[in-house]
């Protein structure tokens, strides 16, 4: 019995001493006295102070947080990220760990938990995998005036969007950050989260900017707008409240707001250096013009209808990955983002993701070379697919006289009185129907109002009423969104206000750029913004309509 006890004791002791998970890789180690004395700490600094120049006297205890500031953190660990992940899930290989795990950041304000995020496995500085293997200290900016390291800035912005902004009001607040490793092996189970590896806190000093009366006041509509001025009496205090939020940076990167009521100009305001003559880049909101021009070309007889299939425009057997499903893709499938191409902008690993297209020298060939997705049927399911709009532009360019850009100018822009605009072009020098058609805000308003007028402008039918009605139809459901649909390169949603639902169709682009047409109200709203790739871009645009525009009109 005594021998058995000794054997068990020795075995358990051996497990305690030798059973710890060994590191997968050799790290950079802990080589400086600063690192040694601060292992496990998140330290704060103003800007990017190089590691070899960083001293404890640089550690911030307090920081005046403004809209434009450079609050950075430097984290000191006793191991590298991949070794922490290995301790958490030793059964996974190194490559699996790098694909399924990273760091979890938790944010606390004044002792209260606010937000937690498992940063994406692909997020890091430079060569992600190499640095996650070896680094034992790293620096990231939480805020930056330089636009560097987007994943870190987006992390801070998402914290702000998910509760941070509500609690960081005027005054002094304690910010605490905790960092842990996590591994998420599949979508159906929660992530496994490891021990705390670093933490730190700082006092943030928040001071609301002092605004002038001119910044808050509604901007007067200057002469020669090209629009008749609306005499609708609206609640000016609501718009002044909106201008206040622009001035104190609660609303960020907005460049213009245009409101049209009953075909007349009600509100015209510009911000952040923009004015009436600024050409804005609304990114993918420009896709909708491809739909408009397709409708015009069909009405003119250059294209039979939207049910024509790709095999009527291309010899698809001459492209890679031929499949009969490729022959059967309709123009309508591309207009509704529901083709069976293996392409999805929502998934970075998708072969047809737009980021894979842009570096190539022929965007049409890139798209037509794509394989077909066995899990999709043409017209069956919505999946955002920018490359498909390139095919629409190419089909138009080869079908209409003198090419797409000249056709657009003659058939759409000149009739609307739009003379100042700028296309981007594909590598084949075709007008880029993927987006970024730059115009003045007042001209985007003309475009949106054309749809509100059932295709009529100045008494002339520019776009057929039938095409407008098809566009203002729930063509296909957007997955994972409640009561939101997609039509012919237009989005659809409803705004709830005081117990009533107001349906809209709208063009939408990165950064919160939106041209919004109310279906049953005489209202068109244009929002332009430079909040590109910011998590607050689209929520901000939605809030502008819900909290300011509608309340001002329904006073």
Tens digits of per-residue pLDDT, 120-136?
998 875 555 667 888 99
Provide the strand spans (E) within 184-323. 192-193, 198-206, 254-261, 264-270
Pick the range with the lowest mean pLDDT from 11-20, 312-321, 495-504.
11-20
Average pLDDT over residues 381-393: 98
Pick the range with the lowest mean pLDDT from 9-13, 81-85, 240-244.
9-13
pLDDT in tens, 265-318: 999 999 999 999 999 999 999 999 999 999 999 999 999 999 999 999 999 999
Q: How confident is the model at residue 188 (pLDDT cuts 50, 70, 90)?
A: confident
Angle at 323 between CA 477 and CA 386, to 5 degrees: 45
- Which uninterrupted H or E stretch holds 414? helix 414-416
CA 469 to chain centre: 29
Angle at 66 between CA 63 and CA 72, to 5 degrees: 50
Q: How confident is the model at residue 147 (pLDDT cuts 50, 70, 90)?
A: confident
pLDDT of residue 4: 41
pLDDT in tens, 53-82: 999 999 999 999 998 899 999 999 999 999
pLDDT in tens, 88-122: 999 999 999 999 999 999 999 999 999 999 999 98
Average pLDDT over residues 461-480: 97
How far is the C-alpha of 351 from the C-alpha of 347, rounded, in Å?
9
Q: What is the DSSP letter of 220?
A: P
pLDDT of residue 187: 83
Pick the range with the lowest mean pLDDT from 97-101, 379-383, 391-395, 416-420.
97-101
Average pLDDT over residues 171-181: 98
Q: What is the DSSP letter of 542?
A: H
pLDDT of residue 133: 84
Rounded percentage of the chain residues whose pLDDT exceeds 90: 90
Q: What is the pTM of this model?
A: 0.87
pLDDT at residue 159 is higher than 60? yes
pLDDT of residue 130: 66
For CA atoms 225, 231, 237, 239, give the dihedral sign: negative
Q: Which domains does the chain have, with CATH numbers?
A: 22-206 (no CATH), 213-219+226-282+440-553 (3.40.710.10), 303-399 (1.20.58)
pLDDT of residue 146: 86
Give the β-pairing of 513-518 and 500-509: antiparallel
pLDDT of residue 126: 54
How far is the C-alpha of 423 from the C-alpha of 429, rounded, in Å?
10
Average pLDDT over residues 461-476: 98
Please tell me whether residue 327 adopts helix, strand or coil conformation. helix
pLDDT of residue 127: 58
Which of residues 16 and 321 earns the better pLDDT score?
Answer: 321
Which of residues 17 and 323 earns the better pLDDT score?
Answer: 323
């Amino acid at each position: 019995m005594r021998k058995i006890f000794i054997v068990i004791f020795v075995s358990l002791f051996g497990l305690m001493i030798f059973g710890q998970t060994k590191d997968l890789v050799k790290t950079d180690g802990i080589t400086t006295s600063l690192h040694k004395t601060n292992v496990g700490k998140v330290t704060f600094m103003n800007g990017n102070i190089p590691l070899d120049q960083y001293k404890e006297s640089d550690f911030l205890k307090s920081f005046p947080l403004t809209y434009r500031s450079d609050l950075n953190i430097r984290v000191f660990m006793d191991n590298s990220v991949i070794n922490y992940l290995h301790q958490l899930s030793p059964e996974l290989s190194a490559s699996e760990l790098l694909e399924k795990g990273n760091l979890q950041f938790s944010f606390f304000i004044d002792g209260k938990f606010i937000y937690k995020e498992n940063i994406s496995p692909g997020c890091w500085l430079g060569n992600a995998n190499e640095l996650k293997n070896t680094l034992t200290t790293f620096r990231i900016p939480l805020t930056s005036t330089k636009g560097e390291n987007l994943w870190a800035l987006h992390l801070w912005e998402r914290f702000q969007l998910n509760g941070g902004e509500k609690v960081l009001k005027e005054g002094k607040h304690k910010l605490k950050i905790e960092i842990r490793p996590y591994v998420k092996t599949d979508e159906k189970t929660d992530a496994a989260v490891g021990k705390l590896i670093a933490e730190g806190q700082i006092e943030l000093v928040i001071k609301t900017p002092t605004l002038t009366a001119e910044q808050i006041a509604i901007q007067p509509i200057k002469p020669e707008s090209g629009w008749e001025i609306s005499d609708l009496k609206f609640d000016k205090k609501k718009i002044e409240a909106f201008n206040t939020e622009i001035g104190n940076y609660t609303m960020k990167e907005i460049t213009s707001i245009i409101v049209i009521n009953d075909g007349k100009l009600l509100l015209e305001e510009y911000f952040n250096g923009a004015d009436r003559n600024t050409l804005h880049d609304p990114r993918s909101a420009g896709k909708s013009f491809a739909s408009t021009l397709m409708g015009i070309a069909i009405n003119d007889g250059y294209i039979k209808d939207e049910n024509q299939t790709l095999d009527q425009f291309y010899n698809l057997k001459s492209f890679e990955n031929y499949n009969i499903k490729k022959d059967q893709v309709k123009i309508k499938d591309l207009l509704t983002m529901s083709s069976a191409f293996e392409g999805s902008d929502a998934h970075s690993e998708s072969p047809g993701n737009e980021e894979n297209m842009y570096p190539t020298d022929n965007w049409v060939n890139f798209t037509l070379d794509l394989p077909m997705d066995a899990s999709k049927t043409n017209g069956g399911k919505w999946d955002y697919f920018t490359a498909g709009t390139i095919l629409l532009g190419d089909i138009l360019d080869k079908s209409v006289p003198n090419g797409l850009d000249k056709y657009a100018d003659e058939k759409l822009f000149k009739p609307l009185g739009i003379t100042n605009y700028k296309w981007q072009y594909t590598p084949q020098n075709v007008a880029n129907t993927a987006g970024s058609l730059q115009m003045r805000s007042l001209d985007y308003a003309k475009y949106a109002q054309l749809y509100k007028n059932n295709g009529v402008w100045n008494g002339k039918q520019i776009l057929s009423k039938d095409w407008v009605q098809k566009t203002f139809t729930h063509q296909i459901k957007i997955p994972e969104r409640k009561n939101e649909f997609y039509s012919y390169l237009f989005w659809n949603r409803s705004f709830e206000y005081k117990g009533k639902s107001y349906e809209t169709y709208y063009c939408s682009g990165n950064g919160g750029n939106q041209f919004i047409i109310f279906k049953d109200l005489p209202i068109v709203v244009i929002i332009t913004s430079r909040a590109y790739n910011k998590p607050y871009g689209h929520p901000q645009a939605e809030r502008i309509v819900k909290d300011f525009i509608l309340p001002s009109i329904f006073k």
